Amino acid sequence: MLNWNGVFPAITTKFTENDQLDLKALHANIEIQIKAGISGLILGGSLGEASTLTDCEKETLSKSTVEMVDGKIPVILTVAEQSTKKAIQAVTSANQFGIKGLMVLPPMRYKADDRETVVFFKEIANATDLPIMVYNNPIDYKILVNEDMFGELEECPNIQAVKESSRDITVITKMINRFGHRFKILCGVDPLAFESLAIGADGWVAGLVCAFPYETVAIYQLVKQGRLKEALKIYRWFSPLLELDIHPKLVQYIKLAEVATGLGTEYVRAPRLPLIGEERQKVLKIIEDSLKVRPSIPNFEKIPM
């Protein structure tokens, strides 16, 4: 069983100037993430650039990352497909790549109803032994996986967690009240992370962690150790940066932050384009102003994940 506690970066996909996968830059970032104390790694974020990758590139990305981490942390693959058949093909391939878990989205493009969505998840779960985290993001994908639907999914033992991105923080308490600890709950919205962790979320699927791994892990650890004031001090500093995670251009914004902290490059894949003009200057100012007052991280002993 995969341990769904802790910080799980939705790592950005790195590209070279000539639009090839930049595995060297990816591996360099992952090394820092592991050193900072992350619990696992999520490849192919659905709001990122996964949809622009070919099947061959996804295979290269998966195999290369699994080999690079060498068992230090679990590698989790995002499954975001239009059909059940294609999704099952993706999870079957993941077994062959050495992937340890899956983050599965509802059907893409087609707005499935509750019954169709539940059957979709069940058929995927029945096609693999890999642990599954359901990605609940009705804001961006227009399908809400509600409590009653999770009640039906409870019969699938490998559906173990939910990335909660509904932006309704009351969902966390409702899920815990109804299911106890049957489903691990991971916050999927950076600007709600402190609040989510403080009321019982088990983990954080993070975006700005790609540029700020130590601060992200520190917030998680300090909250879980009851050191809320220390965590809140970092979180309040982090807040303007975390807001970059909920914009349609979050990939460009996060990659610009990665450049500023020496953890990545700015190259994106079309139709995304690098930021220019006033928008670029606005984001750079947020990053630069934050770096000027970057807080020191208090000492803490990492609790087991």
pTM of the full structure:
0.96
* CATH code for the part of the protein at 6-292: 3.20.20.70
Q: Which residues contact 166 (CB under 8 A, 6 or more apart)?
A: 136, 137, 138, 139, 144
pLDDT in tens, the chain (305 residues): 799 999 999 999 999 999 999 999 999 999 999 999 999 999 987 677 888 899 899 999 999 999 999 999 999 999 999 999 999 999 999 988 999 999 999 998 889 999 999 999 999 999 999 999 999 999 988 999 999 999 999 999 999 999 999 999 999 999 999 999 999 999 999 999 999 999 999 999 999 999 999 999 999 999 999 999 999 999 999 999 999 999 999 999 999 999 999 999 999 999 999 999 999 999 999 999 999 999 999 999 887 65
Asked whether 223 and 193 are in contact (CB, 8 A), the reply is no
Alpha carbon of residue 13 to chain centroid = 12
User: What pLDDT does 108 receive?
Assistant: 87
Domain ranges of the chain: 6-292
User: What pLDDT does 135 receive?
Assistant: 97
